[in-house]
Amino acid sequence: MFHIAILGDNLPRCELLTKVLKKARYRVTCLQEETQLSNTLTHLNADLVLMEYSNPNNDLLKLISDISQSFAIPILLLTSSEHQQYAIEGLRSGADQYLIKPHSNSTLLVFIEVLLRRVALEQQRAAFQHCSQQFSLKIARLPLTETEQSLVQYLSKSAGDIISKMTLQKEVLKKELCPFDRNLDVHISNIRRKMQGAGLSKQHIKTVHGQGYRFSEQLL
């Protein structure tokens, strides 16, 4: 679940945004003090900063600059048309996007979804940094579920080795392997299908009958 930190000077507005975002299944932390933001981003691992000020000024631009230089996190500004110039300066200071008010909740959620899509891609790419750059980019773009990503990551970290079904079941799926349990096989089948759909070979994950699975980045 993505975590969004809201920073603003209007408590009722922050509460309204919090309600909208929680309904969309985001974790939300609403902040009123700028000094809280750095602590939140550092310790709560927020994925996006949503900023809205009634009267933006140069202090806000400095805050945006400080955040962008200290954290690899997208910043979305909400502003009125009369303060659009500050939003443009905010982009120059390090913000990623701005949205003019008034706006619908659906528009806000789309803007957030687009920014978080980039976050998810970077997280997925980092999960496969042990692979070659070209291969990790291809894997990162696969529409894998969290479980599927964990399976590919576990297998790829032991590339060339045979990993037993029992090990994958216990270490990744977090449960013991039971007779006639096809859950793991279904996940592997889905991963292979998505690989083929992206132009990769399903042979990157080979079945070693009676033993388990073996991952290979380079196909012979």
Give the pLDDT of residue 131: 67
Q: What is the dihedral of CA 141, 142, 147, 149, to 10 degrees?
A: -50
CATH architecture of 128-215: Orthogonal Bundle (1.10)
Give the pLDDT of residue 24: 93
The Cα diameter of the chain in Å comes to: 68
Task: Tell me the three state secondary structure of residue 15.
Answer: helix
Domain edges within the chain = 3-124, 128-215
Give the pLDDT of residue 217: 83
Give the pLDDT of residue 37: 63
Beta strands 212-215 and 205-208: pairing type? antiparallel
pLDDT, averaged per 10 consecutive residues of the chain (220 residues), comes to: 85 90 91 64 81 80 85 87 86 90 92 85 66 73 82 86 91 81 88 88 90 84
3-124 folds as Rossmann fold (3.40.50)
Distance CA 94, CA 73 (A): 10
Give the pLDDT of residue 25: 92
